[in-house]
Amino acid sequence: MSYMGSLIIVATPIGNLKDITFRAVEILKNVDYILCEDTRITGNLLSAYDIHKKLSVINDFNEERVIDKVIGDLLAGKRVALVSDAGTPLVSDPGFKLVRAARSKNINVETAPGPVAAIAALVISGLPCDKFIFLGFLPKKDGKRIELLKNIKMSISCVKSTVIIYESPFRVLKTLEQIQQVFGDIKIVVVRELTKMHEEIVCGNISNILDKIKTKGELVILF
């Protein structure tokens, strides 16, 4: 008798490898295989917990090509875990199209929740946590970035919210300058290398912290 399997969205550590749940480890040990962004990064995590599973790559470049195979495996009864390089899959990471396809086939989709960089940064920022707007990574084109920031400025004038942005070390200074262009010289928080040995939080008016921002590692900007 045939039966459907399950797609399990498994959150993994954003830095410190100890930040993984017992349930996540158990799931990763017992699925048929694991979908990941980078086999080297996920391989290091699995090695730390003595997990030996087949890894298949899913990323922004191949997601549409691999969906049919994964859906076929799920329909055949396999249990498949989806992880990202760090944190919770689909949150500024690939996987949305796969989950949507699985849901359209009435395939069981589960979650093993855990770390999210945006929330981790928010709760240590000292900024209000009751309402927030998460933008992920801003558009790469300057015009679209400025337009989005202007729209957000109008939104938070109606509902006061903390804004959370992910940024790469290569664009962080430019992004801060564009935020200053739209919002003025506001107070801002930049969190770098969350949960790692060199975790760093920089707070202050944009003009006062630009020269303090280290352009290394992934960063979260909050204001």
> Going residue by residue through the chain (223 aa), what tens digit of pLDDT does each one get?
346 899 999 999 999 999 999 999 999 999 999 999 999 999 999 999 999 999 999 998 999 999 999 999 999 999 999 999 999 999 999 999 999 999 999 999 999 999 999 999 999 999 999 999 999 999 999 999 999 999 999 999 999 999 999 999 999 999 999 999 999 999 999 999 999 999 999 999 999 999 999 888 889 999 9
Element spanning 100, H or E: helix 96-104
∠ CA 126-127-131, rounded to 5° = 140
Contacts of 171 (CB under 8 A, 6+ apart): none
Q: What is the pTM of this model?
A: 0.92
Picking from 96, 112, 114, the residue whose alpha carbon sits closest to that of residue 104 is: 96
**What are the sequence ranges of the domains in the chain?**
6-112, 117-222
Superfamily holding 117-222: Tetrapyrrole methylase, C-terminal domain (3.30.950.10)
Picking from 59, 125, 136, 44, the residue whose alpha carbon sits closest to that of residue 98 is: 59
pLDDT at 1: 37
CA 80 to chain centre: 20
In the sheet that 33-36 helps form, which strands lie side by side, from edge to edge? 55-57, 33-36, 79-82, 6-10, 108-112
Q: Give domain 6-112's CATH number out of 3.40.50.300, 3.40.1010.10, 2.60.40.2550, 3.20.190.10.
A: 3.40.1010.10
pLDDT at 3: 66
